[in-house]
Structures are given as structure tokens and as C-alpha cells.
Amino acid sequence: MTPIIVLVTITVYFILLLVVSAAAGRGSNNASFFTGNRQAPWPVVAFATMGAAISGVTFISVPGMVVTKGYSYLQMALGFVVGYVAIAFVLVPLFYKRNLVSIYGYLEQRFGMMTYRSGAWFFFISKMLGAAVRFFVVCVVLQSLAFGPLGVPFVFNVVVTIALIWLYTMRGGVKTVIWTDLLKSFCLILSVVLCIVFIADGLGLDFEGTISAVAADETSRIFYFDDPKSGEYFWKQFVAGIFMVIATTGLDQDMMQRNLACRNWRESQKNMVVSGISQFFVIALFLVLGTLLVLYVRSTPGMSMPEKTDELFGIVASHGSMPVVVGVVFILGLISAAYSAAGSALTSLTTSFTVDILGADKFNDECRLTRTRRWVHVAMSTAMGLVIIVFYAISDSDAISAVYTLASYTYGPILGLFVYGLVMKCRVRDRWVPVVCIVAPVVCYFVQRALLEYWGYTMSFELLLLNAAVTFAGLLLLSKRERE
């Protein structure tokens, strides 16, 4: 697959993206940007949300995950389904009842301004770092496949791409994001299905043969009940999946902004349940693709398993034994996942910073709010581009792992704040809440290290639960006797 084919695929997708965004953004205003005027049809939002949960990193990493972890990710995906139901019946009615533009406005109504700012800042840091790292990984892949061989500097690659993402999201905001996510979901599912078909054909397998070959391979093991200390242990994965999706979807402005665009809370509930179930089957498709990739590498002379499993999909897709269409489909799925996710992140960051941190939604002047929102959108785009370039300058596995860990830590305090607000009636000493939110991740870091060093226990995603529990305990210490 030549660099020119890669660039042509990217160009065609961007043109299609701009056409969809232009149509969706026609006649948009601030309400369209922040809430989509709450007129989005729930089936459209459900299909868009299902794809929104799949990032470019997921597209690259999940198929390769089967080499070392089998289908253990499906254990977490089962937890995702339960988590989506919990979001639908607990959080969605709450957010609609309070008519929130940003979900963190609940923290202001429940506790006070300092708690509100704490939740907003933790989201801002987490989303900026997480989105930048995910986009960085994809930019590196595209740099090696297309831009590097053509002599295009990495910085130019990032600047142009961020500029295009800013262009298609600047007018319509979440209204545009929903319809471009619809396009992304279609391209994503189509690319995975077509890759499965072509690779199975390359292995000489029909439909029944594919099912039998996948089921018989050791990489297709789903359930892990044997070692509670392992990160793949079923109950750790399942329970963590429930709370992970509550934190990273139900308490994430990026994900909830599109769900709050439905006409009412009942339609939003339908959207959440349908998208949660759909996501389970999409993840299953990625894992089936992973097993087929492993089988293809084993059966092809001259091919060997890469040291980094993240490279497995790209190596097979771009191999000379594969038809060019497989490489095109791979690039299409990758860029649809990555660019739409970056656009969604920019929109949510702009909304949260404008509403939660600057409080610009309290302006009576619509023109002033529009001007502020546009400048914030430019600033968020610039910041994301700079973070990606910094990652490239200092990138190594340890730096990337550290940033991912930091991003995951920040959801713990947000989860603790919301759980306390929902189950407790007491108020808290608002001005001390930021201290609790900062101390909780620090405590969890040392607990994680101690458990590994002295007991050999590897904390997986349950670290999020510990982080939330420490935050909850800190809020109990700050509670007042007065009832809300």
C-alpha cells in the first residue's frame, strides 16, 4: 500500500466529513453547539454513541490484545452493558430534570462552586490528555505509512489535521458531532466486517469454517476465573467495566453531551441501552478479527508476530499478500475512529471550559457568548495540537503509560463526587473539596504500589473504584450536619 493511496483515502474521508458537517451545522447557534437544540432522534444518537466509544487506539489495540489476553476484554464489555443501563435509569433522568448544559453543573447545584470547578477541571485535564494521546498514537501510524515516506514533517501533519477538525466542528458543535459520529460508526463497522471477510478468504475459510477456526484457537478464550490476582480475572473485569463506563461515559461531558441532545429523557434512556448492547457486539467483532489476524500470520511464510501487538493489524493490512482494498479499509476505519473522536473531544472541551470554567453561559448577550465560545474552540484546538507535538518530542513507552495512568486517575474523584451527591443528603464544606480530589489519587498511587510490591497483587481497572472510594471517604469527613 503506497503513501499516495493512504493520502487519497484520508482526503476522500475528510471531504465526506466536511459535507456531512456542513449539512448538519446549517442554521446552528449556541444552543445547537452545546445541546443540539435537544432535537436529535434517539436511534441516530444511539448508533453515533456506539461508535463514539471506539477510538483510534481501540481500533489498533483491541485486535492485537488477543495475543496475550484472549477475549478477556469481553468480560469488561459485559460490565459495560450493565453500566449503560445504570446510566440510563439513574443519571439521564437526573441531568434532564435539572436541565443541564454541562453535567458538572449538578455539582454546583448540589455542593457549591469549588466542587463544581473541581469536577470541571478534572474532566478538562483528563479529556485533554486522553484525547491527545489517542490522537497522537494514530498520527504516528499515519506518519509511518504516508506522511513520513513523502517527507512531510510530523508537526505539519498534526497542524493540518487539527485545523481540519476545528473547521468541521466550529459551527455545529454537538449537533455536527452526532451526525459525523453516525458516519464514523458506519465506516468503523464496515471496515471491521470487510477486513474479517478478506482475511478469512485469504485463509481459505467460509463462514462456518471461520467460526470453527476462531472457536478452536487458544486466543478466543473469554472467561478467566482461575487467578484472582490476575488483571484478567472475571469479577475484576466485570465489576470494573460497570463503574468504568459509568465514570467515562455517564460522568464524561464528551459522551453525555450527545446523549443530552435527545428530545427527552425517555428517548435518551432508549439510546443508552441500545448503544451499550451494540458496543458489546462491536467489541466482539474486533476480537474475532484479532484471532483471524493471528491465524493469518501463522499461516503466511515470511511473516512473524510483531513484538508490539498493537502493530499486528497494520502489519497484516499492509502486507503484500493482502489486496490493496484491505489496506484502504484499514486506513478508513482508523481515521474515522480517530478524527471523529478528536472532534467530539474538542467540542466537549469547548463546552466545559466555556460553561463550567468561564461561566460564559450566564451572559445575556448571545453575540458575546458566541464570540467567547469561538475563541475557546480555537484555544482548545491549539492546546491539543501542542500536547500532541510535545508527546512526539518526548515519546517513549514510559511517558505514554504515565499520561494514560494520569488520565485514568482523574475519573476517580469525579465518580466519588457524583456517588456522594446521589446517595448522601448531607452537604460538604465546599472549599476543601479540591484538596480531597487531589489527595485521593495520591493515596491510590501508593496503595497500588504497596499491593504489587508486598502481595504481588496487580490492580487493574478496580483502581478507579478505590480512587472513588477514597474521594467518598474524604467527602464524609467534610460533611456538614445541615440537611440539603
- The total of other beta-carbon atoms located within 10 Å of residue 370's CB is 15
**Overall average pLDDT of the 350-371 stretch:** 78
- The total of other beta-carbon atoms located within 10 Å of residue 39's CB is 12
Class of domain 3-392: mainly alpha
**Which pLDDT band holds residue 437 (cuts at 50, 70, 90)?**
very high
Q: Tell me whether strands 479-483 and 426-428 are parallel, antiparallel or unpaired.
A: antiparallel
pLDDT (tens digit per residue) in 319-328: 777 788 888 8
Close Cβ partners of 436 (under 8 Å, ≥ 6 residues apart):
413, 471, 474, 475, 477, 478
Which of 128, 127, 160 has the alpha carbon at shortest distance from 143?
160
pTM: 0.78
DSSP string, 33-90: HHHGGG-B-HHHHHHHHHHHT--HHHHHHHHHHHHHHTTTHHHHHHHHHHHHHHIIII
**Overall average pLDDT of the 199-207 stretch:** 89
| Rounded CA separation 484/474 (Å) | 19
Work out whether the CA dihedral 125, 126, 131, 137 comes out positive or negative.
Answer: positive
Does residue 54 surpass a pLDDT of 60? yes
pLDDT (tens digit per residue) in 114-169: 998 898 888 888 888 877 877 777 777 778 777 888 888 888 888 888 887 887 77
Burial level of 222, CB count in 10 A (0-12/13-18/19+)? middle
For 2: left if phi > 0, alpha if psi spans -120 to 50, otherwise beta; the answer is beta
pLDDT (tens digit per residue) in 330-342: 888 877 777 777 7
pLDDT (tens digit per residue) in 236-287: 889 888 988 888 788 888 778 777 778 888 888 888 899 889 889 988 999 9
Structural domain spans, the chain: 3-392
Cα 23 to the center of its chain, rounded Å: 25
Q: Cell numbers for 192, please give them.
A: 471491521
**Which pLDDT band holds residue 484 (cuts at 50, 70, 90)?**
very low
| Rounded CA separation 278/276 (Å) | 5
Does residue 48 surpass a pLDDT of 90? no
